[in-house]
Amino acid sequence: MTHRAMAPKNTALEVLSGPAGARGRLSRGLRRAAGVGPVRTSPRLFVAVVSALALSSGTLLATSMTPTQAKIKADWVTFFAGSTPAKHKIALLQNGPSFAAVINVQASSPLSKSVGAKVSSVTVTSATKAKVHYSLTLGGVPALSNQTGVAVLQGGTWKVGDQSFCGLLALEQTKTPACATK
């Protein structure tokens, strides 16, 4: 038996692999279930098994989103996608018809065809609003990173908030009467 009294702190592997750690509990549980005596496992084997289980369940790859968060994310990505028709973008923007002229002009721009969005998180803040963290890309390359926007529930559909869209139009130095009060 080795003593670790001299070590200032236990490493994560020591905590996991010690007799009281997760590895020890897992090993004892497996032995009891199989009706066998002590089984020696290497820390590498334990880490590989736990990693495989975690990856297969998705817990290390991404946090799960609620259906509402997933819908907001999908609508946000669709709204900013260069391939989305202007008519569909207008439907995905809060008060979209007020922005139809601007959206139609943008849709006719060759540069707009390469725009995309990557949503990193969605936090529902009320029954009708959510905070969206996103980045805009041009040709897959980040162009405007780490932005925060608002999604709103309007007419039963989660939409890009007009306040967020007006903020982006201001960066483009595009003026529209729809943003005058935003």
Q: Per DSSP, what are the bridge partners of residue 164? A: none
Query: Are residues 44 and 130 in contact, defined by beta-carbon separation less than 8 angstroms?
Result: no
∠ at Cα 165 (145, 134), nearest 5°? 25
At 161, list the tokens: 């908030």
List alpha helices for 1-66, DSSP H. 12-17, 22-34, 43-57
In the block, tokens 């750690």 appear at 21
Report the amino acid identity of residue 99: F
Residues 23, 83 share a domain? no
Residues 152, 116 share a domain? yes
- The answer to pTM > 0.75 is no
**How confident is the model over 28-37, as pLDDT tens digits?**
443 444 454 4
User: Domain for residue 2, yes or no?
Assistant: no
Domain limits for position 104: 67-179
How many domains are contained in the chain? 2
**How confident is the model over 12-61, as pLDDT tens digits?**
333 333 445 444 444 444 344 445 444 454 445 343 333 333 333 333 34
User: Domain for residue 42, yes or no?
Assistant: yes
∠ at Cα 121 (175, 165), nearest 5°? 10
